[in-house]
């Protein structure tokens, strides 16, 4: 099962992905979390002791340049770079959950980072096509990644949305682009929900009911602010995540 998560910045997609990873692992599945956000925070959310020491693969410019066969001053590079050894080399693990931090290539003054992005995209595609794992892909905020086709091949796209008009607008745009990209199963998940009024607002504004509503958890905020793992901080949120995990498994299996 391959699941990507997206949404407007600040809606809590990393929090939900971390909670989902924990519940998916508890169900007995092998879990690989891929943090593809330009500002990765998944390591802290999962409670990795050396979270501050994690270097995103995208920041390893020399290695990426070498893998792409890029030669300074030349417009040519390898479009089929070797990446088979990278997953094991750059994975971290905690409580049976494996994490790989991709990050994103940043360019200055409109410069092209095509060779480096080629390595990252091939690495991402390889992981998304691995049949023995449940892959949870935490994408960057917004809609740009859809235009680059970096989530092609996923089974499910979760769009996280909070009870705010701006969040709904972004969520609907992501849904439209994802549908055009050929993603078969797309679901909304509400977050930072205070009451039934928030749930009703989201359902009406989106035109359908989100498959899960996560509460506005003070316990999660407290854990995050203190630098602790958010997984296990709020049993109520864990129950919601467990329900979401079961719903996604049923959706993918056709049950």
**Cα–Cα distance between 34 and 100 in angstroms, integer?**
5
Q: In this structure, are residues 138 and 36 in contact, taking their beta carbons and an 8 Å threshold?
A: yes
Kindly provide the b/e burial profile for residues 59-75, where b requires at least 16 CB atoms within 10 angstroms of the residue's own CB.
ebeeebbebbbbeeeee
- The phi, psi pair for 135, rounded to 5°, reads -105, 125
Query: Three-state SS string across the chain, please?
Result: CEEEEEECCCCCHHHHHHHHHHHHHHCCCCEEEEECCCCCCHHHHHCCCCHHHCCCHHHCHHHHHHHHCCCCCCCCCCCCCCCCCHHHHCEEEECCEEEEECCCCCCCCCCCCHHHHHHHHHHHHHHHCCCCCEEEEECCCCCHHHHHCCCCCCCEEEEEECCCHHHHHHHHHHHHHHHHCCCCEEEEEEEEECCHHHHHHHHHHHCCCCCCEEECCHHHHHHHHCCCCCCCCCHHHHHHHHHHHHHHHHHHHCC
Q: In this structure, are residues 33 and 87 in contact, taking their beta carbons and an 8 Å threshold?
A: no
Which tokens in the block code for residue 119? 């390595």
Please tell me the pTM assigned to this model: 0.81
Answer CATH for 2-253 from 3.40.50.300, 3.40.630.90, 3.90.550.10, 3.30.70.890: 3.40.50.300
In this structure, the strands spanning 91-94 and 97-101 are antiparallel
Predicted pLDDT at 40: 66
**Cα–Cα distance between 8 and 80 in angstroms, integer?**
32
Which tokens in the block code for residue 155? 């089974």
> In tens digits, what is the pLDDT along the chain, a chain of 255 residues?
889 999 998 899 999 999 999 999 998 888 988 887 666 678 888 887 766 666 666 666 566 666 666 555 555 455 555 666 665 666 788 888 888 877 655 543 344 455 556 666 666 666 666 666 788 888 766 555 565 555 656 889 999 999 999 999 999 999 998 888 888 899 999 999 999 999 999 999 999 999 999 999 999 999 989 888 898 899 999 999 999 999 998 998 875
Q: In this structure, are residues 32 and 135 in contact, taking their beta carbons and an 8 Å threshold?
A: yes
Which residues share a beta bridge with 93?
A: 98
């Amino acid at each position: 099962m391959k699941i990507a998560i997206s949404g407007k910045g600040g809606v809590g997609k990393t929090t939900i992905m971390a909670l989902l990873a924990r519940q998916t692992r508890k169900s007995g599945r092998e879990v690989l979390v891929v943090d593809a956000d330009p500002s990765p925070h998944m390591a802290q959310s999962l409670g990795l002791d050396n979270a501050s020491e994690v270097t995103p693969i995208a920041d390893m410019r020399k290695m990426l340049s070498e893998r792409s066969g890029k030669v300074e001053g030349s417009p040519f590079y390898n479009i089929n770079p070797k990446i088979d050894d990278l997953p094991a080399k750059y994975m971290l693990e905690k409580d049976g959950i494996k994490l790989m931090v991709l990050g994103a290539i940043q360019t200055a003054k409109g410069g092209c980072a095509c060779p480096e992005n080629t390595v990252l995209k091939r690495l991402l595609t390889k992981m998304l096509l691995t049949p023995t794992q449940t892959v949870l892909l935490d994408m960057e905020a917004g809609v740009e990644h859809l235009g680059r086709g970096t989530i092609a091949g996923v089974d499910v796209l979760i769009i996280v949305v909070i009870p705010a008009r701006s969040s709904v607008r972004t969520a609907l745009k992501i849904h439209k682009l994802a549908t055009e990209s050929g993603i078969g199963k797309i679901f909304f998940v509400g977050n930072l929900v205070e009451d039934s009024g928030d749930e009703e607002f989201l359902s009406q504004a989106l035109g359908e009911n989100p498959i899960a509503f996560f509460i506005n958890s003070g316990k999660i905020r407290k854990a995050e602010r203190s630098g602790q793992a958010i997984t296990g901080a709020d049993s109520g949120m864990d129950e919601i995540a467990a329900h979401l995990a079961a719903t996604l498994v049923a959706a993918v299996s056709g049950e």
